[in-house]
Amino acid sequence: MALHMSSLFLRTLREDPADAEVPSHKLLVRAGYVRRVSPGIYAWLPLGLRVLRNVERIVRQEMDAIGAQELVFPALLPREPYEATNRWTDYGDNLFRLKDRKGGDYLLGPTHEELFTLTVKDLFSSYKDLPVSLYQIQTKYRDEARPRAGVLRGREFVMKDSYSFDIDAAGLEKSYQAHRDAYVRIFDRLGFDYVIVQAMSGAMGGSKSEEFLATAEVGEDTYVRCASCGYAANVEAVRVPAPDPVPFADAPAAHVEDTPDTPTIETLVDHLNERFPREDRAWTAADTLKNVVVMLVHPDGTREPLAIGVPGDREVDEKRLEAQVSPAEVEPFEATDFDANPALAKGYIGPGALGLDGTAHIRYLLDPRVAEGTRWVTGANQPGHHVIDLAAGRDFTADGTIEAAEVRAGDPCPACDSVLQSARGIEMGHVFQLGTKYAEALGLKVLDEKGKLVTVTMGSYGVGVSRAVAAVVEGNHDEAGICWPRELAPADVHIVAAGKDEQVLAAAEQVAVDLEDRGLSCIVDDRRGVSPGVKFKDSELIGVPTIVVVGKGLTRGVVEIKDRRSGLRREVPVGSAAAEVLAEVGRA
RNA sequence: CGGGGCAUGGCGCAGUUUGGUAGCGCGUCCGCUUUGGGAGCGGAAGGUCGCAGGUUCAAAUCCUGUUGCCCCGACCA
């Protein structure tokens, strides 16, 4: 049965809602797909629900196609399983918590590794049962610090999450690849541009992880990509290529110089150029070695100072650093910490004092760019003094390297000779090799063929289903409204009855009946007393891909078929309208 | 949690500086006209101006407190 605009539970808005900023948010509200109920919590109106269900259908089809089995867990969960994996604590304020009448602790599930793991443990106990992949499409809850952009980032949202269970790493790799392939098919069908980027496995203890990002200016994730070789990575995961070692046999010896009042890189470079000018070129910040000290706080509460050496023209990227040192957290090195480490001369810290073997006994990690044989200007560990021509490997060594320096557009690509570009994206999917973290914590083991207990190895895979609705709109709209890809549109055809005559309404209705009979879903704008202009505007705002206009052409026996996206229109005889539309929709 | 902004009929906004009968556009309802690009005319309904307290003859407007929301940053499908 076609949807009729005269009775549809829908009110389109002429103006953008005041609280909306990004295009998808404005359009989804204006076109009557969603309504805000509370910050980050949205109601899906009839048209919106249809789109959401279409996304779910695509995801479900592709998951079923790789043999994953659908089930559904409750969103309301007891505390215990999350206690076992420490996530009751680790999730912190992001977890919605509640109590039942007896005072028992519950939570609204933010993701379901624990439940899947426990249920597999409950039912399976042999390697013969594996591999198995399970998934659900379910409403998740996260008490986001700052929900934003409508359904793009809500506190309640629909996610498809799946989990694979394998006996060994080779099996996990296969399950992972199957999911990754399924995700490629899902996102191809959803119809937005996306990139697959390498991501950090980080705290989760896994070994491999990739994110699917919809390319969008409004995205919250920054990633880099290489135009020539296709390399793409989340900023956290970028590996800096280490330069080849430089021979330092004939390099000048390091020498300490007076550099008064030069506590910052900028003042130091100015001073160098004034007092110690180079013959070949001017000194730049990239010639200096900046040593930053931070305080790591380990999960058990112990604190450990860490020194990081990066070229002076780069900042330490906090996100990258945290990804590297995870699960430890990073805190600033406070004045009291300097007091406790008198070997550190604030503003003039140099490698001499650093390292576990150094006078300050602080672990010292270097940016990969500080390769053997490279020469640097750096702190001499006494106020007002720096060392020039300090050669890495000859004059100092560190305890290792670390990927913590900021990544910039124009940096060399780690995979080829080209350079990286920076871009923004919306995280739409994540595939992730978890390994044994959850299986171990929850005791998921099976007997192998030799009768020995082995811990199961897992993968976890997510798709933001409700988020996808917004992401699709971000990538598929124009000035007038939304342009849905066919598979997602709330209907196949939008029929506009443009005219007041009864024949127009009757003819529009007949076209709708013909199309519905042939398996297409229709929206019919049968509102009386509404001018054609309003109906045209609404049809473009709502964004169904094919629009059929039944109006003044009827006296000549024709109706108009219009493509929403291109705006192209053509007239066809009213009698063959249904067949023509079917051809247009590609289901003839 | 830090910074900025906003709160006035269903929606979008003005009015607040300088206290004096709460206004505009859209939408909604009724009537007539109109019908291929958000129609015209006439009529109508609808607001204790976020909340609480205070100043005053008088508060949307001034003072104090409070709550909520939006945006920008640290976290995530």
The per-residue pLDDT for A337 is 67
Question: B6 C1' – A541 CA distance, angstroms?
Answer: 28
b vs e for A340-356, b when ≥16 Cβ sit within 10 Å of the residue's Cβ? Answer: ebeebbeebbbbbbbbe
Question: B16 C1' – A18 CA distance, angstroms?
Answer: 21
If you ran DSSP here, which 8-state letter would residue A350 be given?
-
**Residue A483 forms part of a structural domain:** no
Nucleotide nearest to A430 (CA to C1'): B77
CATH number of the domain to which A513 belongs: 3.40.50.800
**Residue A315 forms part of a structural domain:** yes
Evaluate whether A444 touches A455 at the Cβ level (below 8 Å).
Answer: yes
The per-residue pLDDT for A300 is 67
Nucleotide nearest to A531 (CA to C1'): B35
Q: What is the pLDDT of residues A319-377, one digit of tens each?
A: 777 777 666 666 677 666 666 676 676 777 777 777 677 676 777 777 777 777 777 77
Question: B53 C1' – A39 CA distance, angstroms?
Answer: 29
Question: B14 C1' – A26 CA distance, angstroms?
Answer: 23
Residue bearing the bigger pLDDT, A438 or A371: A438
- Domain residue limits at A439: 23-190+433-473
* Backbone torsions φ then ψ of A25, nearest 5 degrees: -65, -50
**Residue A228 forms part of a structural domain:** no
Report d(CA A238, CA A575) in Å as an integer.
60
Assigned token pair, A342: 């008198």
Q: What is the mean pLDDT of residues A130-147?
A: 89
Question: B57 C1' – A114 CA distance, angstroms?
Answer: 69
| Same domain, residue pair A463 and A506 | no
Report d(CA A386, CA A378) in Å as an integer.
5
**Residue A3 forms part of a structural domain:** no
Assigned token pair, A77: 């969960």
| Same domain, residue pair A377 and A448 | no
Q: Tokens 């169904």 appear where?
A: A544
**Residue A10 forms part of a structural domain:** no
Question: B63 C1' – A96 CA distance, angstroms?
Answer: 39
Nucleotide nearest to A541 (CA to C1'): B38
Question: B15 C1' – A500 CA distance, angstroms?
Answer: 42
Evaluate whether A307 touches A293 at the Cβ level (below 8 Å).
Answer: yes
ipTM of predicted assembly, 2 dp? 0.86
Q: What is the pLDDT of residues A154-183, one digit of tens each?
A: 888 999 999 999 999 899 999 999 999 999
Protein residue closest to B73, using CA and C1': A146
Give chain A's mean pLDDT.
83
Residue bearing the bigger pLDDT, A32 or A393: A32
What is the dihedral sign for C-alpha A187, A193, A195, A200? negative
| Same domain, residue pair A276 and A396 | yes
pLDDT-derived band at A265, boundaries 50, 70, 90: confident
**Terminus-to-terminus CA distance in chain A, angstroms?**
20
Nucleotide nearest to A15 (CA to C1'): B12
Question: B67 C1' – A213 CA distance, angstroms?
Answer: 38
Evaluate whether A16 touches A30 at the Cβ level (below 8 Å).
Answer: yes
Q: Which amino acid is at A255?
A: H
Judged by DSSP in three states, A225 sits in strand
Question: B15 C1' – A161 CA distance, angstroms?
Answer: 52
| Same domain, residue pair A315 and A464 | no
Assign 3-class secondary structure to A84-129. HCCHHHHCHHHCEEEECCCCCEEEECCCCHHHHHHHHHHHCCEHHH
Nucleotide nearest to A528 (CA to C1'): B35
Beta strand residue intervals within A265-346, DSSP E: 289-297, 303-311, 329-332
| Same domain, residue pair A394 and A446 | no
Question: CB under 8 Å to A156, separation ≥6 — which residues?
Answer: A40, A41, A42, A139, A140, A141
| Same domain, residue pair A320 and A443 | no
Instruction: Report DSSP letters for A427-454, one per residue.
Output: EEEEEEEEETHHHHHHT-EEE-TTS-EE
Nucleotide nearest to A467 (CA to C1'): B77
Nucleotide nearest to A157 (CA to C1'): B77
Question: B45 C1' – A483 CA distance, angstroms?
Answer: 38
- Of chain A, the percentage scoring pLDDT greater than 70 comes to 91
If you ran DSSP here, which 8-state letter would residue A149 be given?
T
Nucleotide nearest to A532 (CA to C1'): B36
Question: B13 C1' – A43 CA distance, angstroms?
Answer: 26
The per-residue pLDDT for A465 is 94
pLDDT beyond 90 at A517 = yes
Alpha-carbon Rg for chain A in angstroms: 30
Protein residue closest to B76, using CA and C1': A144
Nucleotide nearest to A554 (CA to C1'): B36
Protein residue closest to B39, using CA and C1': A531
Q: What is the mean pLDDT of residues A445-469?
A: 91
The per-residue pLDDT for A11 is 87
| Same domain, residue pair A510 and A460 | no
Q: Which pairing describes strands A363-366 and A493-497: parallel, antiparallel, or unpaired?
A: unpaired
Nucleotide nearest to A533 (CA to C1'): B37
| Same domain, residue pair A129 and A86 | yes
| Same domain, residue pair A260 and A392 | yes
Evaluate whether A167 touches A456 at the Cβ level (below 8 Å).
Answer: yes
- Where a domain ends, among A359, A379, A401? A401
The per-residue pLDDT for A360 is 67
Rounded-to-10 torsion of CA A457, A458, A459, A462: -170
**Residue A208 forms part of a structural domain:** no
**Residue A1 forms part of a structural domain:** no
Question: B1 C1' – A145 CA distance, angstroms?
Answer: 9
Assigned token pair, A141: 């809850």
CATH number of the domain to which A443 belongs: 3.30.930.10
pLDDT-derived band at A204, boundaries 50, 70, 90: very low
CATH number of the domain to which A382 belongs: 3.90.960.10
What is the dihedral sign for C-alpha A16, A20, A21, A25? negative
Overall domain count for chain A: 3
Nucleotide nearest to A504 (CA to C1'): B35
Question: B73 C1' – A146 CA distance, angstroms?
Answer: 11
The per-residue pLDDT for A520 is 93
Protein residue closest to B69, using CA and C1': A39
Question: B33 C1' – A500 CA distance, angstroms?
Answer: 14
Q: What is the pLDDT of residues A302-327, one digit of tens each?
A: 777 777 877 777 777 777 777 776 66
Judged by DSSP in three states, A492 sits in coil
Sheet holding A569-573, edge to edge: A3-4, A522-525, A493-497, A546-550, A558-563, A569-573
pLDDT-derived band at A516, boundaries 50, 70, 90: very high
Question: B8 C1' – A18 CA distance, angstroms?
Answer: 15
Question: B45 C1' – A136 CA distance, angstroms?
Answer: 49
Task: Name the least confident of A39-43, A107-111, A230-234, A337-341.
Answer: A337-341
Assigned token pair, A434: 């978890």
Report the Cα A27 to chain-centroid distance in Å.
22
Give, as ranges, the nucleotides of chain B with any atom within 7 Å of a protein CB: 1-2, 11-13, 25-27, 33-39, 68-77
| Same domain, residue pair A394 and A439 | no
Protein residue closest to B71, using CA and C1': A21
| Same domain, residue pair A181 and A35 | yes
| Same domain, residue pair A368 and A516 | no
Nucleotide nearest to A553 (CA to C1'): B36
**Residue A304 forms part of a structural domain:** yes
Report d(CA A39, CA A283) in Å as an integer.
52
